């Protein structure tokens, strides 16, 4: 039995709410997060369920790929596709000089490299060096401001000194991300180069907690035309332009008399270009683009 795997980027085109179903503190509807790191995720089960509903995958193949919806007898079988949780890798953060900047950290890059190696993805940059909490690593093209005798990257209320000695490392990573996220769009590749930064793990964790969107929502009473009693709640979302990374793994289909190989299943799953993930679909949330990473240097 053969197997196949791909690294898949999940690029949020609109704010994304993959919730937990219960409130935490002042936020009634928080987003899902990893327990050990506290970083946002979209559960793999949510992605897999949306893929199953996608019209881009032929109905005749869905049972072979995802398994039967109900197993009623001994002829039932498991699905051939496994979808890992999509973990936040690039967070768009408001910037004083560039509208927003895609921010990542050494920990995220190391995890990405580990996932890539497991999926036999090559061509990733080799260097991932530590960075101080007071500094940022940017490309030559990243928009910054200059004051206090140095270039600064201002993210939300954080003022970080740009480290010019590590510019080559940031440029290498920015180039790799840009080519994979926007493979056929040189204009967006250039935009990415102008909006990329690596910060320390502690700073990234802080931004991932406090730089998400938290919006108030209300429900109007149809009879009175005013807010219904107790119908005020706060909902958290990952902002538009957030980029997460998932791993898709597949084996040959276990469905009797089905000839779909692992490579065929991965190809069909990663051919889906867009999905709606998470809740509140009728309000336009959760529109994402899926991009399968390739061996682009």
- pLDDT recorded at residue 22: 65
Instruction: Report residues of the chain scoring pLDDT below 70.
Output: 1, 21-25, 71-76, 221, 227, 229-230, 295-297
Which backbone phi and psi does 174 adopt, to 5 degrees?
Answer: -60, -40
- pLDDT recorded at residue 155: 95
Q: Alpha-carbon distance 165 to 150, whole Å?
A: 13
Sort 179 into a burial class: Cβ within 10 Å, 0-12 / 13-18 / 19+.
middle
pLDDT digits (tens, 9 = 90+) for 38-71: 999 999 999 999 999 999 998 888 888 998 877 6
Q: How many other C-beta atoms are found inside a 10 Å radius of the C-beta of residue 230?
A: 7
For the chain, the distance separating the N- and C-terminal CA atoms, rounded to the nearest angstrom, is 31
Q: Alpha-carbon distance 223 to 246, whole Å?
A: 46
- pLDDT recorded at residue 118: 93
- pLDDT recorded at residue 90: 98
- pLDDT recorded at residue 296: 54
Question: How far is the CA of 136 from the CAs of 27, 125, 211, in angstroms?
Answer: 30, 18, 17
pLDDT digits (tens, 9 = 90+) for 247-264: 999 998 888 778 889 999
Please, which residues bridge with residue 250 across strands?
Answer: 4, 81
- pLDDT recorded at residue 29: 81
- pLDDT recorded at residue 240: 96
- pLDDT recorded at residue 71: 67
User: Mutual orientation of helices 106-118 and 201-210 as an angle, nearest 10°?
Assistant: 90
What tokens appear for 148 in the block?
């206090």
Residues 6 or more apart whose Cβ sits within 8 Å of residue 35: none
Mapped onto helix, strand or coil, the DSSP state of residue 63 is helix
């Amino acid at each position: 039995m053969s197997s196949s795997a791909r690294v898949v980027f999940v690029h949020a085109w609109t704010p994304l709410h993959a919730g937990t179903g219960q409130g935490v503190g002042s936020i009634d509807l928080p987003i899902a997060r990893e327990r050990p790191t506290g970083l946002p995720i979209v559960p793999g089960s949510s992605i897999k369920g949306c893929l199953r509903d996608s019209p881009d995958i032929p109905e005749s193949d869905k049972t072979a790929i995802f398994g039967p919806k109900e197993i009623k007898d001994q002829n039932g079988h498991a699905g051939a596709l496994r979808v890992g949780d999509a973990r936040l890798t690039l967070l768009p953060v408001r910037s004083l000089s560039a509208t927003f900047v895609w921010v990542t950290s050494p920990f995220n890059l190391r995890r990405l490299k580990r996932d890539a190696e497991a999926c036999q993805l090559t061509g990733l940059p080799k260097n991932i060096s530590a960075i101080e909490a007071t500094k940022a690593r940017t490309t030559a093209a990243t928009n910054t401001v200059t004051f206090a005798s140095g270039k600064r990257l201002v993210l939300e209320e954080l003022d970080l000194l740009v480290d010019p000695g590590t510019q080559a490392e940031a440029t290498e990573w920015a180039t790799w991300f840009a080519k994979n996220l926007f493979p056929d769009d040189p204009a967006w590749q250039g935009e990415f180069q102008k909006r990329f930064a690596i910060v320390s793990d502690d700073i990234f964790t802080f931004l991932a907690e406090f730089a998400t969107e938290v919006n108030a929502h209300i429900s109007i009473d149809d009879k009175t035309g005013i807010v219904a009693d107790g119908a005020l709640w706060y909902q958290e979302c990952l902002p538009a332009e957030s980029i997460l990374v998932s791993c898709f793994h597949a084996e040959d289909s276990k469905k009797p008399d089905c000839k779909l190989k692992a490579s065929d299943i991965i190809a069909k799953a990663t051919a889906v270009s867009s999905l709606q993930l998470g809740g509140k679909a009728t309000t336009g949330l959760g529109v994402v683009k899926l991009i399968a990473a390739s061996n682009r240097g």
